[in-house]
Amino acid sequence: MADINIQRKKSSPSPWLLVLLVLVALGLLGYFLFRSDSTTPAEQPAPATTSATPVAPEADTTAQASPPPAEGTAAGGDAAAVADMAAEEAPATADELDTFARGEADSPDYGRRGLQMLTSSLSALADRADLRGDATVAERRNDLTSAMSRSSEPNASLRPGFVAVAGLLQAIQQKSYPDLEKPVAELGEQARALSGRTTAADQPALQAFFTKAATILQTLNEPTP
């Protein structure tokens, strides 16, 4: 009787095990893919943030800049103001003072206006090269400036201004004009006799003072002998 070789049949792997391995592999693959997708945006800079940042354009700065003043308006007004100031600061001449003294005695501001004209003329004269270095002239000029400053106060008397004018004229006369000693001394007496008011009763005395001062000023403006 022949021997029958009986071999045990090998068991094949369970299909469920294969399915489980496939699921695990898919799970791992999905995990890594998801992790890669979630970390990539955080690592890369967002270009939208840079483009969205507001930048001040040059057009805004230009729009806020003040436009240049129109010709003939602000600039013209400043030029007119400067011209008016220059006209007020220009020293009055002897002829202008004489014309004022003789023709505007009825003006309500006659005394103050005449004193201002005299002050401007004598201040310019005291700054002349041959008189500028004299100590007495400089001192009397300062006295006149102080007197005029006080005369601008309300209800202030003009008499200190007239006396200071006579004092400066005397200093100039003693420095360079010996022939004017008598008329300058007479003007000083007139100045001390003035009341300092500008009423109608004071107008004749004021007119005599200004007229005589204009005559002296005419000589002072001539070259020294």
Return the axis-axis angle of helices 203-220 and 159-176, rounded to nearest 10°.
20
pLDDT tens digits along 73-101 = 443 444 333 333 333 558 999 999 999 99
Q: Is the pLDDT assigned to residue 131 strictly greater than 60? A: yes
Better pLDDT: 131 or 39: 131
Q: What is the mean pLDDT of residues 112-120?
A: 94
Q: Is the pLDDT assigned to residue 66 strictly greater than 50? A: no
Return the axis-axis angle of helices 159-176 and 110-126, rounded to nearest 10°.
30
pLDDT tens digits along 161-217 = 999 999 999 999 999 999 999 999 999 999 999 998 888 899 999 999 999 999 999
**Any idea what DSSP says for residue 93?**
P
Residue 190 half-sphere exposure, CB side, CA atoms within 13 Å?
A: 19
CA dihedral 22, 24, 27, 32 (to 10 degrees): -110
Q: Which long-range contacts (CB under 8 A, 24 or more apart) does 202-210 make?
A: 202/111, 203/105, 203/106, 203/110, 204/105, 206/105, 206/110, 206/111, 206/114, 207/101, 207/102, 207/105, 207/110, 209/162, 210/97, 210/100, 210/101, 210/114, 210/118
Rg (CA), the chain: 52
CB 92 within 8 A of CB 121: yes
- Kindly report whether the global pTM for this prediction surpasses the value 0.85: no
Q: Where are the domains of the chain?
A: 92-220
What mean pLDDT, rounded, does the chain reach? 77
